[in-house]
Amino acid sequence: MTAIASRREFLASSGLVIGLALPMGRAAAAAAPVEGAPFAPNAFVRIAADNTVTVVIKHVEFGQGPATGLTTIVADELDADWGQMRIAFAPANDPLYKNLMFGTMGTGGSTAIANSWMQMRNAGAAARAMLVEAAAKRWKVPAAEVKVSKGVVSHGRNKASFGELAADAALLPVPQKPALKTPDQFTLIGTDVPKIDSVAKSNGTAVFTMDVSRPNMVNAAILHPPAFGGTVKSVDKQAALAVPGVVAVEAIPSGVVVYAKDTFAAMRGRAALKVEWDLSKAETRSSDDLIKVYKAAAATPGKQAEAKGDATGALAGAAKTIEATYVFPFLAHAPMEPMDAVIELGQGADKGKADVWMGSQFQVGDMRAVAKALGIPFEGMTLHEQYAGGSFGRRATPDQDFATEAGFAAKAHPQAPIKFVWTRENDIRGGRYRPLVVHQLKGGIDVNGDIIGWDQVVAAQSFFANTPMAAMGIKDGIDDAIVEGAAKSSYAWPNYRIGCHVMENGVPTLWWRSVGNTHTAYAVETFMDELLALGGKDAVKGRIALMKEDRAKGVLNRVAELADWGRKPAEGRAFGVAMHKSFGSYVAQVAEVSKGADGLPKVHKVWVAVDCGIAVNPNVIRAQMEGGIGYGLGHALYAELVLGEGGRIAQGNFDTYRSLRIGEMPEVEVAIIKSNENPTGVGEPGLPPLAPAVANAWRALTGKAVRRLPFSHGENA
């Protein structure tokens, strides 16, 4: 269903649409029902005469759970029955649906619940207050005496469903500051409400962008240059056009697009393309070349991102020191559903308009990018947001690379709707990687074994460089996304310095599930482990002694209790621990590891303690911890993208970009810390502690500190 309800639609369906009553602006006033005026399209809650309650979801749903979470928050304040809840994805409209932490529509930084928490509560509470008022008027009783429970409004013997009251309630003014529940009054929040999309995602009926079909649609596939920064010099279209089913071949700024009657023909046409590329400006260095440059940079102090005391002096006077160089590879996000979009240009009277079906993560930014590529105004764009088959960060880019490309692909073949789908090879070789990173660390302990000095230098590209977000992302030569997790860490080292080098090369990079924490957590938590061991300290107690925040200590204590830390491991096994705070959430993990048949760590079990404030849906939180662990482990053990000779990516599909399989997934046990703090995210924070916990167990087991990821990299053999 459409998320925007016009006044006419509202009258036709006798539905109640409740606007948001927000601290953020004019929305509430605009949403008040005014007779004869178009109904304000700024609704999060829609109650229909058939008694369904639809929550408009302003975030992309790619498995992290906002469709369920946001709906739970509304349903709780509304005292709805879970069975009557439905969802609809929001249109691309910043004034109504912006992420309150971003200022534009977008999903990232594990903010979906965090930024929407009060907004959704107010939306639900306002709806409830209006239903109560409508019932009170109908029954001529005081509103204060009207009760609402599980979707039923009642007073004594009087009972009514939301649907029965919707038409009356719609005529009432929207309360600006509806009374909210206190946490002890929550009935759905904090419970394992069934996920709203599980049925459709278990029987094949959930619709993703790739499943969308339009009349007369053609399928489009693209061939990109073989190295980053390459461009099309010339195309010989004949071989591709000779493939049965291929209808057109067009060069666009980022590659060559083949249009065909079905996907198979498009892919065959793509394979038959003869393109001469201009690689004069391409990045032709190999990963090895780049690593040498990065290592040289990391050996120098770089810009100072954060410091306290005198790290250099402390290290010079230390009883013992360790130095280490860490190397992290480029990584692809590789969501199961490759990047895709369906675009249909308006014809005739609708010229200058376009409909886009997409699992967009930056809804407004993407529509602006498509509009710009098409040369039409943003106002002509209609986004039909779809479920997205994973993202891990890939579907949000500061420069809207994919949306722009899809827009150009549609513009080059305007006569038919196009379904533009990347092949897996496009995805693996398409860039926007987790950057290559080198960390240089030096740490020292005193005669008591206490850590007295910490010096860490991080060298990585900034994915904000050369994008519209550059000024925001890079300040004084420092990008917080490079050092986050090392800077603002959980530890109160008495003397420390965190340095930053913003590196440049031609490989496009991007945030990847947990962003800078993907590598800073590994470097900090494995190096801490080594220093604590060097000083004869216990890995849990030693960390806690240096921790600044109670919530950090809390998760570490809880996971130690859960895993029975300190017990002797079974023969051939070892335990490792790590704790990391990211996106406002605290996660500690203990991994139980042995040596697998392939010579790599075999992870048997991971115990997790997570503090993410109020647990809106514990089941979703556990799922995200499991998912973060699986995603983190697969990449830590097996995954790297290697730029080979001439800058060509050696990997191309899941045969060479190895992903975790079911037999490699550990058992996971999760404890959620009880909290009354406002909720923070869980989509990313489960990932950072996993790899260091495994590495720490591996070092305990084998004596070997792994400082180059993945574990399967030849240097670790």
Partner 1 sequence: MAIEFLLNGTTTSFDGDPETPLLWVLRDHLKLTGTKYGCGIAQCGACTVHLDGKNRRSCVTPVGTIAGRKVTTIEGVAGKTAEAVKTAWVSIDVPQCGFCQSGQVMSAISLLSAKPKPSDDDIDHGMAGNLCRCATYVRIRQAIHDAAKTLEKTA
Q: How far is the CB of 388 from partner 1 (least distance, A)?
A: 7
244 contact partners, CB below 8 Å, separation of at least 6: 265
Q: Which DSSP string do the residues of 136-157 spell out, in sequence order?
A: HHHHTS-GGG-EEETTEEEETT
Cis peptide before 710 (omega within 30 of 0): yes
Residue 23, number of CB atoms within 10 A of its CB: 12
Least distance between partner 1 and beta carbon 446 (Å): 42
Most distant pair of Cα atoms in the chain: their distance: 81
Shortest distance, CB of residue 149 to partner 1, whole angstroms?
A: 25
Closest to partner 1 by CB, 376 vs 690, is 690
CB of 619 to partner 1, least distance (A): 6
Of the pair 318, 633, the CB lying nearest partner 1 is at 633
Q: Cβ of residue 376: shortest distance to partner 1, in angstroms?
A: 28
Q: Which is nearer to partner 1, 503 or 668 (CB)?
A: 668
By C-beta, is 330 or 631 nearer to partner 1?
631
HEC sequence for 633-669: HHHHHHCCECECHHHCECCCCCCCCCCCCHHHCCEEE
Nearer to partner 1 among residue 283 and residue 664 (C-beta): 664
Residues comprising the chain, all counted: 717
Strand partners, 250: 257
For the CB of residue 638, give the shortest distance to partner 1 in the complex, in Å: 12
Q: ∠ CA 394-398-402 to the nearest 5 degrees?
A: 55
Q: Do 494 and 460 contact (CB within 8 A), yes or no?
A: no
Nearest partner of 682 among 606, 610, 589, judged by Cα: 610
* Residue 68 beta carbon to partner 1: minimum distance, rounded to whole angstroms: 9
Q: What Å distances lie between residue 363 and 335, 439, 463, CA to CA?
A: 18, 35, 19
Compare residues 162 and 362 and give the one whose CB is closer to partner 1.
Answer: 362
In this structure, the number of other CB atoms found within 10 A of the CB of residue 110 comes to 24
Cβ burial of 714 (10 Å; 0-12, 13-18, 19+) is: exposed
Secondary structure class of 407 (helix, strand, coil): helix
Instruction: Quote the least distance from Cβ 338 to partner 1, whole Å.
Output: 8
Q: Min. distance of Cβ 403 from partner 1 in angstroms?
A: 19
Distance (Å) of CA 715 to CA 20, 69, 373, 706, 708: 56, 43, 45, 9, 7
CB 382 within 8 A of CB 111: no
CB of 390 to partner 1, least distance (A): 4
Distance, in Å, from the CA atom of 686 to the CA atom of 490, rounded to the nearest integer, reads 16
* Distance from C-alpha of 623 to C-alpha of 525, rounded to nearest angstrom: 24
Smaller CB distance to partner 1: residue 143 or 336?
336
Cβ 395 to partner 1 shortest distance, Å = 11
Binding site for partner 1 (CB under 8 A): 62-65, 194-195, 197-208, 210-211, 213, 219, 244-245, 262-265, 267, 334-338, 387-392, 421, 423-424, 619-620, 623, 626-627, 629-631, 633-634, 653-655, 659-663, 665, 667-668
Q: What is the token pair recorded at 295?
A: 């290592």
Task: Choose between 483 and 629: whose C-beta lies nearer to partner 1.
Answer: 629
Q: In DSSP terms, which residues pair with 373 in a beta bridge? A: none
Which of residues 62 and 277 has its CB atom nearest to partner 1 in the complex? 62
Report the nearest approach of partner 1 to the CB of residue 334 (Å).
Answer: 6
Question: Closer to partner 1 at the Cβ: 100 or 206?
Answer: 206
State the Cα–Cα distance between residues 344 and 214, nearest whole angstrom: 8
With beta carbons less than 8 A apart as the criterion, state whether 534 and 563 touch.
no
CB 80 within 8 A of CB 193: no
Which is nearer to partner 1, 161 or 263 (by Cβ)? Answer: 263
The values of phi and psi at residue 671, to 5°, are: -115, 130
Q: Which is nearer to partner 1, 18 or 409 (CB)?
A: 409
Q: How far is the CB of 657 from partner 1 (least distance, A)?
A: 9
Nearest-angstrom CA–CA distance, 185 and 168: 27
Give the CA count within 13 Å in the CB-facing half-sphere of 43: 28
Amino acid at residue number 124: G
DSSP element (H, E) containing 544: helix 539-546
- The distance of closest approach from Cβ of residue 31 to partner 1 in the complex, given in angstroms and rounded to an integer, is 32
The DSSP line for 463-511 is TTTTSTTHHHHEETTEEHHHHBTTBT-SB--SSEEEEEEEE--SS-B--
Residue with smaller CB distance to partner 1, 542 or 630: 630
Query: For residues 12 and 200, which CB has a smaller minimum distance to partner 1 in the complex?
Result: 200
Question: Least distance (Å) from partner 1 to the CB of residue 631?
Answer: 5
Q: How far is CA 651 from CA 9, 91, 430, in A?
A: 51, 37, 11
Judged by beta carbon, residue 67 or residue 146, the one nearer partner 1 is 67
